[in-house]
């Protein structure tokens, strides 16, 4: 993370329907600039009761129905020491779920300490799930790679290669054949949920544009329609395009699976030599389909070799039998 | 043109991996290289061709090469057979 992620950024996150956090700021606006430094959350039940050992003060504090009821009781009894101590810990923000309203005395203390009080109509468990997912994405390991990401037959294919080897042209042909562009030139790769690599355009504001030598900048969405683009996609196959090197031995069988490591996640990796007359888009299409077969448990190359070995074995057995009988 | 007779020494015979090894080696030479097994002749630079030969254990194969680097090519290929394609 190069830039600090603040509570305001959390409110501004552009999340779609089923991920929407639906947060509104009820009080403590100046505190919206407080940074969130960890994707973890905390339910402050113990803290409200006065137990502050191992208190996760750098976490967003979630107030569900239980905490809300307890705060109301504390306010009614005017036992606000623990609440004051809680806000004395510089917590980034507190969130009331179920659309619950924080009692006035509580918001007063929050405002005095400069801590924003947020509210969401979502149920606690649902909100917690969404928030963990959203913060997980924000804090995911990431890397920007010079490459093109396309979705081919449902497989996310990352096309790597030096400048001018034809990554964009290959992607263009794939789009023309009905596949989808995710990002061209600069792909931001994030590692989410442990071992999933998610790729998207490094700058979402730039949209789905491409630079094609001789044409300049073109807008894929306008030229090919919204069906030809997609915002993000898991990277499931990596194809490295490189100029054909006669000295180099390229894979001829494909029985051994090679992997390329990005952010500590290995992804199936193919080196595809480029030379005039080789139709790279069709090769990538085939590679994507082959990858789907592999996911279904069918390995073309392995199956082929098993058949040959079986055939050679039976030929051997037949020869040995004939020799024994003296009929050679 | 030169020829040399070799025998398949590895138990598994020429399956996909040895075939790839043969083709990779043969492709480094400009000579026309062929494998003969009984009355079949195939191009040693074609992976499918070599596999189709069905050369099992103890099969004898005649390597023939024709071109500028024929001697070296046959030598290198014959050595692959002797080394059992680096198997076993």
C-alpha span between A120 and A19 (Å, rounded): 13
Q: What is the dihedral of CA A279, A282, A287, A293, to 10 degrees?
A: -150
Other beta carbons within 10 Å of A36:
21
**DSSP per residue over A6-18, as a string?**
BHHHHHH----GG
Non-local CB neighbours of A253 within 8 Å, separated by 6+ positions: A301, A305, B16, B17, B19, B20, B47
Q: Write the pLDDT tens digit of every residue in B56-67.
A: 888 899 999 999
Split at pLDDT 50, 70, 90, the class of A203 is confident
**Residues of B assigned a catalytic role:** 15
Active site residue A294: no
pLDDT at A229: 94
Contact B15 A308 (CB under 8 A): yes
Q: Write the pLDDT tens digit of every residue in A32-60.
A: 999 999 989 999 999 999 999 999 899 99
- Please check whether residue B78 touches A, CB under 8 A: no
What's the complex ipTM? Answer: 0.76
User: A78-92, A157-171, A246-260 — which is least confidently predicted?
Assistant: A246-260
Q: Given a cut of 80, is residue A1 above it in pLDDT?
A: no
- Looking at the complex, report in whole angstroms how far the Cα of residue B42 sits from the nearest Cα belonging to chain A: 17
Give me Rg for the CA atoms of chain B: 11
- Read off the pLDDT of each residue in A65-69 and give the average, rounded to a whole number: 94
pLDDT at A315: 84
Contact B16 A253 (CB under 8 A): yes
Share of chain A above pLDDT 90, in %: 60
Split at pLDDT 50, 70, 90, the class of A241 is very high
Mean pLDDT of chain A: 90
Q: Write the pLDDT tens digit of every residue in A92-107.
A: 999 999 999 999 999 9
Residue in chain B closest to A318 (alpha carbons) equals B56
pLDDT at A107: 92
Active site residue A252: yes
The H or E element that residue A131 is part of is helix A124-138
C-alpha span between A32 and A101 (Å, rounded): 18
Beta strands in chain B (DSSP E): 2-7, 32-37, 40-43, 60-66
Mean pLDDT of chain B: 90
pLDDT at A93: 93
Give me Rg for the CA atoms of chain A: 29
Active site residue A146: yes
pLDDT at A2: 56
Which of A98-102, A163-167, A202-206, A305-309 ranks highest by mean pLDDT? Answer: A98-102
pLDDT at A323: 84
- Please check whether residue A309 touches B, CB under 8 A: yes
Ramachandran category for residue A205: left, alpha or beta (phi over 0 → left; psi -120 to 50 → alpha): alpha
Q: Given a cut of 60, is residue A201 above it in pLDDT?
A: yes
Residue A255 phi, psi dihedral angles, 5° rounding: -80, -30
C-alpha span between A216 and A222 (Å, rounded): 15
pLDDT at A250: 82
pLDDT at A328: 58
Residue A258 DSSP class: P
pLDDT at B88: 67
- Please check whether residue B12 touches A, CB under 8 A: yes
Token pair of A137, please? 């994405």
C-alpha span between A110 and A196 (Å, rounded): 39
User: A147-151, A178-182, A256-260 — which is least confidently predicted?
Assistant: A256-260
Residue B30 DSSP class: -
The closest of A282, A305, A302 to A294, measured between CA atoms, is A302
Asked if A25 contacts A11 with a C-beta cutoff of 8 angstroms, the reply is: yes
Across the interface, which of A249, A304, A315 has its CB nearest the CB of B54?
A315
Token pair of A91, please? 């917590």
- Please check whether residue A301 touches B, CB under 8 A: yes
C-alpha span between A59 and A141 (Å, rounded): 19
- Read off the pLDDT of each residue in B1-7 and give the average, rounded to a whole number: 92
C-alpha span between A282 and A273 (Å, rounded): 13
Which of B12, B15, B23, B37 is the mutation pick for testing A, counting most A CBs within 10 A?
A: B15
pLDDT at A254: 79
Q: Given a cut of 80, is residue A205 above it in pLDDT?
A: no
C-alpha span between A14 and B75 (Å, rounded): 66
Q: Write the pLDDT tens digit of every residue in A96-137.
A: 999 999 999 999 999 999 999 999 999 999 999 999 988 888
Q: Given a cut of 70, is residue B50 above it in pLDDT?
A: yes
Q: Which residues of B touch A253 (CB under 8 A)?
A: 16-17, 19-20, 47
Split at pLDDT 50, 70, 90, the class of A252 is confident
pLDDT at A253: 80
């Amino acid at each position: 993370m190069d830039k600090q992620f603040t509570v305001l950024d959390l409110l501004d996150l552009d999340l779609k329907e089923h991920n929407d956090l639906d947060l509104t700021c009820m009080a403590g606006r100046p505190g919206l600039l407080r940074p969130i430094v960890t994707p973890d959350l905390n339910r402050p039940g113990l803290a409200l009761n006065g137990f502050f050992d191992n208190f996760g003060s750098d976490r967003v504090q979630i107030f569900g129905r239980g905490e809300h009821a307890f705060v109301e009781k504390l306010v009614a009894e005017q036992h606000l020491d623990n609440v004051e101590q809680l806000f004395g810990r510089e917590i980034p923000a507190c969130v009331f779920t179920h659309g619950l309203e924080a009692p006035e005395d509580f918001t007063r203390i929050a405002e005095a300490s400069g801590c924003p009080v947020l509210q969401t109509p979502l149920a606690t468990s649902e909100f917690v799930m969404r928030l963990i997912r959203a913060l997980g994405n924000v804090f995911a390991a990431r890397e920007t790679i010079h490459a093109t990401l396309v979705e081919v037959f449902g497989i996310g294919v990352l096309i790597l290669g030096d400048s001018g080897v034809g990554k964009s042209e290959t992607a263009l042909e794939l789009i023309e054949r009905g596949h989808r562009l995710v990002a061209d030139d600069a792909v931001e790769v994030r590692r989410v949920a442990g071992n999933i690599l998610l790729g998207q355009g490094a700058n979402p504001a730039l949209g789905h544009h491409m630079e094609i030598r001789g044409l300049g900048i073109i807008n894929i969405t306008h030229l090919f329609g919204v069906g030809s683009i997609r915002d993000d996609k898991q990277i499931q196959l990596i194809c490295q395009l490189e100029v054909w090197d006669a000295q180099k031995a390229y894979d001829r069988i494909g029985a051994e699976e090679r992997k390329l490591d990005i952010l500590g996640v290995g992804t199936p990796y193919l080196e595809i030599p480029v030379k005039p007359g080789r139709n790279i888009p069709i090769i990538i299409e085939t590679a994507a389909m082959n990858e789907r077969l592999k996911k279904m448990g069918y390995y073309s190359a392995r199956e082929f070799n098993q058949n040959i070995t079986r055939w050679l074995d039976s030929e051997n057995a037949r020869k040995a039998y004939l020799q024994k009988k003296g009929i050679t | 043109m030169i020829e040399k007779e070799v025998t398949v020494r590895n138990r598994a015979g020429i399956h996909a991996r040895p075939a790839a090894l043969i083709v990779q080696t043969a492709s480094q030479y400009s000579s026309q290289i062929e494998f003969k097994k009984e009355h079949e002749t195939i191009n040693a630079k074609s992976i499918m061709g070599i596999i189709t030969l069905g050369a099992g254990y103890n099969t004898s194969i005649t390597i023939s090469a024709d071109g500028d680097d024929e001697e070296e090519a046959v030598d290198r290929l014959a050595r692959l057979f002797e080394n059992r394609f680096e198997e076993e």
